[in-house]
Amino acid sequence: MGDAGVSIETVTDKANFEIVSRRSPAVSLTYSDYTVGWICALPKELTAATAVLDQIHPGLSKPPDDPNAYTLGSIGGHNIVIACLPNGKVASHSIAISVTQMTRTLPLVIFSLIVGIGGGIPPKVSLGDVVVGTPGDGHQGMVEWDFDKAEDGRLFGRVGGHNSPPTALLTALAKMESQGELWGYKIPQYLDDMGRKWPNMVPGYTHPPCGKGHKIAGIGLEPEQVQSDGAKRQSDDMRVHYGLIASGGQAIADARFRDSLDEYLGGDVLCVETGAAGLNDDFPCLVIRGISNYADSQTTDEWQEYAAGVAAACARELLQYVQPSDAVGGRSGQDILSHVIDRLEIMRIKLDRIENTEILNWLTPIDYGPRHSELISKRQPGTGQWFLDSDEYYFWRTSDSQTLFCPGIPGSGKTMMTAIVIHDLSTQFLQDPSVGFAYIYCEYRHRNEQRLEELLASLLKQLCQDRPFLPDIVRHVFSRHQNKRTRPLLEEIIQALMSVMVMYSKVFIIVDGLDECQTSDGCLAGFLSQLTNLQAQCNVNIFATSRFTPQVLKTFKSSTRLEISAHDQDIQRYLNARVSQLQHTFLALHVEEILNSIIKAVDGMFRLAQLRFDSIQTRKTIKKVRDSLKGGSVYEHAYNNTMQRIQELDSDAQNLAKDTLSWITFAKRPLSPAELQHALAVEHDEPDLDHDNLPQIEDMISVCAGLITVDKHSGVIRFAHYTMKEYFRQTQKHWFPNAEANISRTCVTYLSFRTFESGPCHTGRELTERLQTYPLYEYAACNWGHHARGALSLYFQAVKFLNCETKPFLQKAESYAQSICGRR
């Protein structure tokens, strides 16, 4: 602790304002003499707070680890310390840090005033009024809200309410309110005093802006009915309001959002602000706000100085009703010492918590919590219970070092099932701190943000959040890089992750949508490798979902597998929940028919059920409903996003995907993987097949983003869902306008290879060998003409082929070709 050092002489500035010590010159003040804290967020608020002090005290030296700058002074018998945030730092967590540091340096601060400006809720309050946060029906004067707590479709949610302000302040407030009603408030007098002592503060801080009104938005008034609040201020007096203040992490500048928040909090909100949101319940304080705007799109700075002035004047008046003995409480030295020790411990914990949050957010800003909350809020009760009751899931959850891999076609409900699994684990192990779990929702649209380092750092961040103390290894990584402004290396993240994992008896890692993880720079391959390595080194259970992507399938080929598809009971629950939307329409008379039709069409694809139901809600006759249920327009919504993914691939991958999908869509029969490989390897200007040009089956499947698969029973390569073929046939003009011509040309080129110039095979053995070496030969010979018939632009090429001397096609194909060209 520092002290004042020498006695203070009286000095006088231009305003004749004395800067003196409250005590005699022989007695110096220390930080232990200050019992009232005063917190400001803006320089204008600090200016107003300083101006209402009776006396300004000289500064004291402070601990080197305290970044706050303090203004010391007194009002009446109270010694006051004022702390203000650094310029530009107005976030709620910055205020929490400032308050925590202040109470550590000044442990005898019994309570604090959070004084400054805020946004008013019209027409309950007006510009230039003051709102004091006081307890009321169901609240303690201040309620905290946040975007991350959004639920039930809202953009925000309630985080919680703070403890009631100290009794001494509430008693003083009652006195001030009573005296204000009887004799009027002294706030105008204090503003006049401020102007006399500090002429530079006139008129901004001491008078409302003349003629500068603020039109109130969002309260249902027509433009011509909206009166300038500046004009109102010329005739009416400033008012002090007592009630609820809503504090959030972000400023509000939208009237509809403001009113929606007020409605959500019971219609009792008088003011919205950002300063008090980060303060903990154990910090005794009272919030006072001067109204400088209406938290709408018309917010300006012109009322800020006056609002800061009236708020500071209100705080000064309040302190006149607080006895110094009320602040100290008449406690003994031992009580004060105990209080100091308790406060210091609380402050240490709070500082650690704030520092921990900073370090974890430095690791990665990615937070999957809001995504998970959004998903689980849409779950219908009982959905996915079949999965949770399965033997595979039970074995995985109750065993050690196990992997449960759950592939599924696009739209089958993999992401929702992931959310259900996360929710189940958090419920099962809620009371067991020895079990840790972390999860990732991979999203293709955010793939550039989900690099390998970010994915692993997110797992580390989540596992650290569940620890009572931040592990030292994470602090050390932060310390090594913070001052250098560098990022942790992959090796450092992996080492820290493994060190944290061994602190648990068991760890669950849940990853959804591995197929949506970016493949560039080896991200997917590296992530799969690290997951496998973590499981080998630590007791880790892995749950993963993916489309049927070869790279992922290969990684988990020996793992327990449980395919995810939309079960009828889940579809039924979902549709039953939406049937209520039909109760007041003619559709209610046909509910059973509609539900049966949708369930029949789904065939394991949950997304299709959603789209089918959406498609019928605007139909006006049952015939149009039935046509909609039979139509394929909904497929565009189901598969356009997947095609967009393919469009964003590099040109080689994009061409391979489109050629693959084109062949599977328009082939006259299902093709084997080998047949399709040869079809895609044909180069139209080459006389022979280059076997080095054969694409890998894994690549063919991978670039198609889960749309195709190899049928495990028949061995053919096909679409993962029957609706995909319908979609591509309906959108042929967009995706494959020349499909028939290209396929026909490929078949003709294939049959024209020099290796077939010897003519047809003469023995069965010779034919078998040819078909094994050239698996597309039979399909091309039998079907080239069918494709040519659908592509008139190939007519002359077809004639040329038929006229060639050697016809290296099967006899059956020759008759097909002759019939097509009219040469039988």
pLDDT tens track for 510-559: 999 998 888 777 899 999 999 999 999 898 999 999 998 888 988 998 99
| pTM of the complete model | 0.56
Q: Which residues lie across from 405 on neighbouring strands?
A: 544, 561
Distance of CA 107 to the CA centre of its chain: 38
* Pair 206, 48: CB distance under 8 Å: no
Distance between CA atoms of 634 and 615, rounded to whole angstroms? Answer: 7
pLDDT of 10 reads: 31
Predicted local confidence at residue 176, as pLDDT: 94
Give the integer Cα–Cα distance in Å for 512 and 528: 13
Please check whether residue 309 is in contact with residue 205, taking contact to mean a CB–CB distance below 8 angstroms. Answer: yes
**DSSP letter for each residue of 147-216:** GGG--TT-S-EEEEEPPPPPHHHHHHHHHHHHHHHHH--SHHHHHHHHHHH-GGGTTTTTSPPTT---PP
Task: Please report, for residues 68, 83, 275, 277, 278, the alpha-carbon distance to residue 94 in angstroms, rounded to integers and kept in the order given.
Answer: 11, 12, 9, 10, 8
* Cα 802 to Cα 796: distance, rounded to the nearest angstrom: 10
CA-based max dimension of the chain: 126
- Output the pLDDT for position 199: 94
Using alpha carbons, list the distances in angstroms from residue 493 to 506, 675, 714, 821. 19, 46, 45, 68
Q: What is the pLDDT of residue 332?
A: 47
Q: Which residues of the chain have pLDDT under 50?
A: 1-27, 148-154, 212, 214-215, 218-236, 329-332, 336, 806-824
The residue ranges of DSSP E strands in 13-121, in sequence order, are 36-40, 55-57, 70-75, 78-84, 111-120
Query: Domain 365-561 adopts which CATH fold?
Result: Rossmann fold (3.40.50)
Encode pLDDT of 327-376 as tens digits: 554 444 555 455 555 555 555 555 567 778 889 999 999 999 888 988 88
What residues contact 532, with CB distance under 8 A and at least 6 apart? 555
Q: What pLDDT score was predicted for residue 604?
A: 73
Peptide bond into 123 cis (omega under 30): yes
Q: How far apart are CA 622 and CA 178, in angstroms?
A: 68
pLDDT score, position 684:
85
| Choices 1.10.110, 3.90.120, 3.30.70, 3.40.50: CATH for 116-334 | 3.40.50
Domain residue spans in the chain? 116-334, 365-561, 568-631, 738-824
Q: Which two tokens stand for residue 191?
A: 């503003």
Q: Would you call 329 exposed, middle or buried from its count of C-beta atoms within 10 A (0-12, 13-18, 19+)? A: middle
User: Are the beta carbons of 60 and 4 closer than 8 angstroms?
Assistant: yes
Alpha-carbon dihedral 595, 598, 601, 606, rounded to 10 degrees: -120
Among the listed residues 264, 277, 202, 272, the one whose alpha carbon sits nearest the alpha carbon of residue 243: 272
For the stretch 126-149, what's the b/e string if a residue is b when 16 or more beta carbons lie within 10 angstroms of its beta carbon? bbbbbbbbbbeeebbbbbbbbeeb
Q: Other C-beta atoms within 10 Å of 763: how many?
A: 8
Rounded to 5 degrees, what angle do the CA atoms 743, 745, 747 make?
70
- Nearest residue to 114 via CA among 304, 311, 296, 265: 311
Residues 6+ apart with CB under 8 A from 679: 663, 671, 743, 746, 750, 776
Asked whether the domain spanning 365-561 has the same topology as the one spanning 116-334, the reply is yes
In the block, tokens 């929606």 appear at 260
Under 8 Å between Cβ of 12 and 23: no
Chain centroid to Cα 267, Å, comes to 28
